Structure 1
Amino acid sequence: MESTMGTQTRVAIITGSSRGIGQAIARRLAKDGFSVVVNYAGNAENARATVADIEATGGRAIAVQADVADEVAVAAMFDRAEREFGGIDVVVNSAGLMVLGTIADFNLADLDRMHRTNIRGTFVVTQQAARRVRSGGAILNVSTSAERQALPTYGAYAASKGAVEALNLILARELRGRDITVNTVAPGPVATDLFLDGKDAATVDRIAKLNPMERLGKPDDIAEVVSFLAGPARWINGQVIYANGGMN
């Protein structure tokens, strides 16, 4: 893809990008020529390491701490991106929290924590993105294929991501005339710490075989889809893209 709009370097903010899928997205967009804001909530060491990796390959990046649900901190992060790099072209909502449990027994405190990060956090970041992303840009959310699989114990998590998907086409239509696309990527199971936590080898193997590729996704698989939607895919708008190896 082209890494500039004319002579203007493109700029991306990726939330939750100190590890996992978000980190892979940050590295991929930097490889594509973006200047990257690596957002993190608490893991400053990982965020700095991600920035160092990007800079080691000739890219530009900064690490910015912000709780995605805190509108003041998020506005300050967008301010920082504009000061450092001159503007914002792509925003990827990758920060997320997953807690599993049956609906009947689910801890409501965990539900509130997921709501704060997955729903409020996505909304707060998207609100700033809708105000500030430049013409020709893209706003991208990360959801989950678990919503379509309807797997037991995923109810609360899938519900939080369903709310994220509900914003998708509405925002695309609200941004009519501004040449900004809005899309959501819905990964299947991906081999990240978030997914693997608490699962034994037999469970992981069973889930991996739910798709005809018979493997878990890799963070780079999802980053590749985001790269496409952030760059050349200007005629894809308001869509949910399922990146799951054919699981559903």
Structure 2
Amino acid sequence: MTLPTDPAANLAALIRCPSVTPAEGGALAALGDMLKPLGFSVERPVFSEDGTPDIENLYARRSGNGPHLMFAGHTDVVPVGDESAWTHPPFAAEIAKGEMYGRGAVDMKGGIACFIAAVARHVEKNGGPKGSVSLLITGDEEGPAINGTTKLLDWAAAKGEKWDASIVGEPTNPDALGDMIKIGRRGSLSGTVTVNGRQGHAAYPQLADNPVRGLMSLVDALLHPVFDKGTKDFQPTNLEVTSIDVGNPATNVIPAKATATFNIRFNDTW
């Protein structure tokens, strides 16, 4: 039996799964195929909540008699955007000049691929760790993050799972692989601003009320404040407008409303 000892092969298999949030895309199935030959029991609970998509997650455990190490991560990826703008197809896992290209290669299928390879090599050379090893993998990190890690942790705890340590394989290295280990992260808060107006024809603006003007003023106000100067452990708090939408495909119609979404990354000042 061939064990998944090659991190590059593991990563390629995961990249080829189009797991754009909230779709599972075959990524969790691929993980299960890698983990079962290593002696892991694999479960894939699905969590739901009104107003959010159902999300499939994965919890795998290889039991032992020593301490319990848990690796946490996610297989969902952000949308690819304009695929024609990619140098290499986003789900082809092509290698060029010693680097593998694909959506999720860094965030964070690469970390998962390496962790599995590390366990596989331990099993191959030493028969496996003496303690327990588990993987807690969500499919809802890049989306609303409601039916993912928090519910999966509660689900596992309800089954009696306890961990002595955890590694989160997010790509936090600023310059080179392994040059920084983080023990915390900034918080995340998303919001929506909606300005209501009155729809009308662009040729008769006096009969309408264009909400875009008001929204532009609000967006400008949101982007200018300096929240803080950062702290000892974290960079300054920032707010980024992530989308502006009027829901209006016609170019000659003044929209009835305009909406902007934003995301705040805040440090421990708040």
Q: TM-score higher than 0.5 here?
A: no
**TM-score w.r.t. length of structure 2:** 0.27
TM-score by length of 1: 0.28
